[in-house]
Amino acid sequence: MENEICRISIATGWLDDEYIFYENGTIKRKYDNDSQHLNLSEWLKPAQISKQNKDKLIKKCPEELKEYIMQILDYP
């Protein structure tokens, strides 16, 4: 497994929604769907992440990593 770059949470309320970025450009999402479906995870490609979520991720990204994360997300 590649080294982790950072974790960014865009959770609202009590449901988790965290994205983990790795040095090799892969993205893992760990999230809760609802109270019956907790601690789910999936590997994502940038095209699978909505523009709205990309906006949230960039906004919450540490400033020193913002440019790198934007490249991984293929963010305009």
What does the pLDDT look like over 37-73, one tens digit per residue?
999 999 999 999 999 999 999 999 999 999 999 999 9
Residue 20 pLDDT > 80: yes
pLDDT recorded at residue 12: 86
Say if residues 41 and 50 touch (Cβ distance below 8 Å).
no
Q: How far apart are CA 20 and CA 36, in angstroms?
A: 23
Phi, psi of 51 (to 5 degrees): -60, -40
Mean pLDDT of the chain, nearest integer: 95
pLDDT of residue 1: 59
pTM, entire model: 0.93
